[in-house]
Structure 1
Amino acid sequence: MSACRVPRRVTRRRLLLPAAGAAAAAVLLSACGSGGTSGGSQQTKFVQGKDGVDTVKPADRQQAPDISGESTEGKHLDAADYKGKVVVLNIWGSWCAPCIAEAPNFAKVAKETKSKGVQFLGINTRDSKKTQAVSFEEQHKIPYPSLYDPMGKLMLRFPKGSLNPQAIPTTIAIDRKGRIAARALTPLSESELRKMIDPLIAEK
């Protein structure tokens, strides 16, 4: 099952919005929508993987933006607190069928890689109430916290030309130095998720 995306013509229009309109752009994100554009092939240095995972060589990686705010449980949550670990960001919604399909895979891999210095974090988006997100987490036994981002503002913080979110679900892996290292724009199986993060675990 593939992730849902906004038509290309809509994404291009959003590129013309000024920075001050970021919040308005977030409102325009559809329920299975785009979070921006990768910036074009001439501006990017990432490698598009055949398995659906795009990667960046260490020398070309960009620093991840500020990913912080209130969690689905009402607590402050900041991805920067986990610098020194491999951070796996999964952008999801309780309404999203592909998110539901991949949830057991994320729960299992998160538990099994925690001792290896991996921290999973979620970004819940387009759920109008926190209770919807919490119910999803409880139902699927998600063992890690998620930021509550109903308007998709956190998705717009990723720099153009980076491995930024463009669909829901999107999974982004951040290396131990806080740099964007890999991205998947489709739901991931357990084996695909492991292939995405295992090279980052091995990095020193």
Structure 2
Amino acid sequence: MSVCRAPRRLANRSRIALLAAGAAAASLMLSACGDGAAGGSSQTGYVQGKNGFATVKKAERQPAPDLSGETTTGKHLDVADYKGKVVVLNVWGSWCGGCIAEAANFTKVANETKGKGVQFIGINTRDSAKSQANSYEEQHKVPYPSLFDPPGKLLLRFPKGSLNPQLIPTTIAFDRHGRIAARAVGPLSEDGLRKMVDPLIAEK
């Protein structure tokens, strides 16, 4: 009897090891500080552009997931409350060189588009303490709130086949109807950020 049970135990252990390896790989992917492009699929309904920039046709956009929780300053925030505005969601970490490189661009464009119905929101991830995120926000004069998500759980809520976060930083734009409309993987220039936001501002 023990001879029959041993292979089953080994098989179970192998399956557990494979699952653990997959989870670790996903965690590493989201933890990476990226500056390159991410590949797309013909089945995801979006158009992959250069430098990791992708957009979705209006008819094919998926609803944004539930993104709510505590901010880096201890307040409650629900992204759904901003439906009716263009929402620019930036995934960042204080430790990420690409995030630091794009910070001034986000501060400038966020301030200049606030009166045009645009709301910037951050998701801070992989920072173990709010003090790290707060120091970053103060240093770069970040004018918008950020959800505090050290384990990256919010990043896993994006629906399968949608424009989901791939690396850190990743920027995702929602249209005024709360649907996922565009994504940029890696740090964005001021011009690149405007190219993402301006078409959504112009949409009726």
**TM-score, length-scaled by structure 2:** 0.83
Letter in 1 for 2:154: L
2:15 corresponds in structure 1 to none
1:53-202 matches, within 5 Å, as 53-202=53-202
How much does 1:186 deviate? 1.2
How much does 1:52 deviate? 3.2
CA distance in 1, matches of 2:26, 2:40: 22
CA distance in 1, matches of 2:97, 2:60: 34
Kept after mapping to 1: 8 A contact 2:72/2:146: yes
CA distance in 2, matches of 1:26, 1:129: 22
How much does 1:33 deviate? 6.5
* Structure 1 gaps, min length 5: 1-15
Q: Kindly report structure 1 stretches of 4+ aligned residues shifted beyond 6 Å.
A: none
**Structure with the larger helix share:** 2
Q: What's the CA shift string for 1:10-62, capped at 9, x where partnerless?
A: xxxxxx85xxx9xx94896133279xxx9962421100112531000000000
Q: How much identity, in percent, do the aligned residues show?
A: 73
Larger Rg: 2
Letter in 2 for 1:174: F
Which sits farther off after the overlay, 110-119 or 48-57? 48-57
Aligned with 2:27 (options 26, 29, 34): 29
Kept after mapping to 2: 8 A contact 1:26/1:152: no
Letter in 1 for 2:103: A
Kept after mapping to 2: 8 A contact 1:123/1:149: yes
How much does 1:93 deviate? 0.1
CA distance in 2, matches of 1:118, 1:56: 18
* Structure 2 gaps, min length 5: 1-17
CA distance in 2, matches of 1:71, 1:146: 5
Letter in 2 for 1:48: Q
Q: What's the CA shift string for 1:93-152, capped at 9, x where partnerless?
A: 000000000000000000000000000000000000000000000000000000000000
How many pairs were matched up?
182
CA distance in 1, matches of 2:194, 2:57: 18
Cα distance change on mapping 1:153 and 1:26 into 2, 3 Å: farther
CA distance in 2, matches of 1:55, 1:141: 29
TM-align CA RMSD: 2.4
Kept after mapping to 2: 8 A contact 1:26/1:151: no
